[in-house]
Chains A and B, each alone.
Chain A
């Protein structure tokens, strides 16, 4: 029985807890991408930098709060600064839309042009962020670091294996659940949310039934900015804030959005967790888990690792290719990506 528990604790410590946290961060990022695709009909390459910008604004407000001596007890102060960061990111997104995307919407540019435009926006944001805070790595986490420490867990339970849960991991999952809940309530229950879905399903019909397109666009950008800031800040809290890592996050985020089905919010969430857990489970070495579960005589001598961690990026892309081959609309999507 203890053996089984030890094996479960290993899996929880190295796969479930980090996978849930990373998956939540990816899911929030993918939600933003998928919303822009669903309503504004283009793949927003600048989304990674929007996350970075949002996280940067939050970080600036966090410093302000910290310098004023305001903390959030055991939780990171950045959570208090989050609403201000979201506000600043909303201003940035709306200004970008007014200055850049609005024009291409008026001339009804093709999606390919939109993608290139968003690449340009990405580079501008990128430079802006480095101009404001520089390229350095910054740690913005404060408050209590752990909910459960590996050593404390071992002592409390008497098991051989430890389980560590960081505050930021719990905060990531908690915030993601809250944000997703709010988003779904908004999309399904409010008039504005329904008009957004209508606009996304069929633009012409929506316009005919009197939905104001500019308002839909405005709301979409506001939600996207909020989701991006949340995802970026949670990621920065859990790891550390470094501007150019957000560009690297873009690939798994797009993979998550496509696997789930572009334009489908539910799919984006599922996709985020599929990508996060596939990276972890396929490259995990199961040697010690099996050693606990199997009788001693059958204990493995090798690492029992399906794939070396070198290939973990290949794993998410293999899933992406398989999904596109078998079900091009993604797991939950109606439209092809």
Chain B
């Protein structure tokens, strides 16, 4: 009996992932679906962080880290959950970078991550509902809550002199949360919202929504949707029918594919997306050799935070390192910028403390979400131009 117990203990010790093993991280983004044009650079940024850490050679006694991708589809909770299950059971991942859209993130968190006790850090799930959702301390995000974005949107509209606007949102957790935040903030500042109407993604026809919005009227249309699908169709329809000329584009609508698809008719529309002018963002755009796309820096940071927390805890088991995420993300400690993950790993290995700043000036507040800074965008000459930060 004693021998059997010993043998059992020995096998578990061999099976547990220690000592220069290959650590796998799941990347669950919507590679198909309404934000499919945004996700490839996001996933590449996360994989870049993993490669950087692997190349440093100082992660967990020389372990390597590889990313395994799964498709969240952005909108289909069942598909996202199935993808997460596959990564955990078949691929043996240690933590999840993702998911991307709020609805599927909540689904993966509640159905899979909490059940399996797995840490997940999302770069782009922004629903206010995630702020106080029960998560067993496993969920973090490098993107700010939409409660803050709603406030920023309302301020920008007021500053530009818009007092009467129409509002449409994509009918899911992200859209509903953001629309609610915009409406309450804008109305408390004395603004008037003529209509709040939902639209579904991937539908065949949006004439009914366009018609209702046009009849309610307003000086501008706020489209809290996704740039590759419903949001784009609503904007195109409104322009075609001549009902709105100017649009406000929140985070989910910022990307190069939208002005490309609509063309110069979109000029003069403006929007806002999570982003900073911190030195980290500049360093990150130098590393990738181009302007930083939406949520790309946040994605790099999400992967980096997971690996730094693992290093700080000296373990790849979520139960051990979940508590370390806030420690490595916030002060005190040596500031770590993108491209300096090797330095961070060495400090942590030596028992020191770090304050990860990363590409998006990471500062995790409350239950582990970014405090939030935003990039102001104006569409000019059928291109998104960054005009300021707030």
Residues of A within 8 A of B (CB): 10, 13-15, 18-19, 22, 135-137, 139, 146, 149-151, 154, 162, 164, 166, 235, 239-240, 242, 244-245, 248-249, 252, 276, 279-280, 283-289, 303, 305, 308-310, 312-313
Most A CB contacts (10 A, CB to CB) among B195, B197, B207, B208 go to B208
Given A10-B215, A252-B204, 9 new contacts (CB under 8 A): A135-B32, A137-B261, A240-B261, A280-B207, A280-B208, A284-B212, A309-B198, A309-B199, A310-B197
- For chain B, residues 1 to 43, give those with C-beta under 8 angstroms from any C-beta of chain A: 32, 36-37
Most B CB contacts (10 A, CB to CB) among A151, A252, A303 go to A303
Check B212–A245 contact: CB distance below 8 A. Answer: no
Number of interface residues of B (CB under 8 A): 31
Closest 9 CB pairs of A and B: A150-B242, A18-B207, A14-B211, A285-B215, A162-B242, A249-B204, A283-B208, A309-B209, A285-B212
Please name 25 pairs of A and B residues whose Cβ atoms are closer than 8 Å in the assembled complex, sorted by A: A13-B242, A14-B215, A18-B207, A22-B205, A137-B229, A149-B242, A151-B242, A154-B242, A239-B205, A242-B229, A244-B32, A249-B204, A280-B208, A280-B211, A283-B208, A285-B212, A287-B215, A289-B215, A303-B195, A303-B215, A308-B198, A309-B198, A309-B208, A310-B171, A313-B200
Partner of A235, one of B195, B204, B212, B241: B204
**Complex contacts, A284 vs chain B, CB 8 Å:** 208, 211-212, 215
Q: Do most interface residues of chain A lie in helix, strand or loop, or is the interface mixed?
A: helix
Check A166–B240 contact: CB distance below 8 A. Answer: yes
**Complex contacts, A149 vs chain B, CB 8 Å:** 242
Check A285–B242 contact: CB distance below 8 A. Answer: no
**Complex contacts, B209 vs chain A, CB 8 Å:** 309, 312
Check A164–B240 contact: CB distance below 8 A. Answer: yes
Check A285–B198 contact: CB distance below 8 A. Answer: no
Check B212–A305 contact: CB distance below 8 A. Answer: yes
Beyond A14-B211, A252-B204, whether A164 also contacts B242 by CB under 8 A is yes
Check B195–A312 contact: CB distance below 8 A. Answer: no
Most A CB contacts (10 A, CB to CB) among B37, B199, B216, B240 go to B240
Partner of A245, one of B202, B208, B214, B232: B202
**Complex contacts, B32 vs chain A, CB 8 Å:** 135, 244
**Complex contacts, B171 vs chain A, CB 8 Å:** 310
Asked whether any CB of chain A lies closer than 8 Å to the CB of B210, the reply is yes
Check B217–A288 contact: CB distance below 8 A. Answer: yes
**Complex contacts, A164 vs chain B, CB 8 Å:** 240-242
Q: How far is the CB of A30 from chain B (nearest CB, A)?
A: 13
Partner of A15, one of B198, B211, B216, B217: B211
A248 to B202, CA, bound (A): 7
Asked whether any CB of chain A lies closer than 8 Å to the CB of B160, the reply is no
Partner of A309, one of B36, B212, B261: B212
**Complex contacts, A135 vs chain B, CB 8 Å:** 32, 36
Check A244–B202 contact: CB distance below 8 A. Answer: yes
A162 to B214, CA, bound (A): 11
**Complex contacts, B203 vs chain A, CB 8 Å:** 245, 248, 313
A138 to B217, CA, bound (A): 30
Partner of A239, one of B199, B204, B215, B216: B204
Q: How far is the CB of B230 from chain A (nearest CB, A)?
A: 11
Q: How far is the CB of B33 from chain A (nearest CB, A)?
A: 8
A279 to B207, CA, bound (A): 9
Asked whether any CB of chain A lies closer than 8 Å to the CB of B173, the reply is no
Q: Which residue of A lies closest to B203 (CB)?
A: A248
Check A285–B211 contact: CB distance below 8 A. Answer: yes
Q: Which residue of A lies closest to B171 (CB)?
A: A310
Asked whether any CB of chain A lies closer than 8 Å to the CB of B233, the reply is yes
**Complex contacts, A309 vs chain B, CB 8 Å:** 197-199, 208-209, 212
**Complex contacts, A276 vs chain B, CB 8 Å:** 205
Check B216–A287 contact: CB distance below 8 A. Answer: yes
Asked whether any CB of chain A lies closer than 8 Å to the CB of B363, the reply is no
Q: How far is the CB of B168 from chain A (nearest CB, A)?
A: 9
Partner of B261, one of A139, A154, A279, A287: A139
Q: Which residue of A lies closest to B209 (CB)?
A: A309
Check B208–A285 contact: CB distance below 8 A. Answer: no
Check B202–A239 contact: CB distance below 8 A. Answer: no
**Complex contacts, A312 vs chain B, CB 8 Å:** 208-209
**Complex contacts, A285 vs chain B, CB 8 Å:** 195, 211-212, 215-216
Asked whether any CB of chain A lies closer than 8 Å to the CB of B228, the reply is yes
**Complex contacts, A239 vs chain B, CB 8 Å:** 204-205, 233
A313 to B208, CA, bound (A): 11
**Complex contacts, A19 vs chain B, CB 8 Å:** 207
As a 0/1 sequence over residues 186 to 204 of chain B, the CB contacts with chain A under 8 angstroms (1 = contact) are: 0000000001011110111
A173 to B110, CA, bound (A): 48
**Complex contacts, A150 vs chain B, CB 8 Å:** 240-242
A25 to B155, CA, bound (A): 43
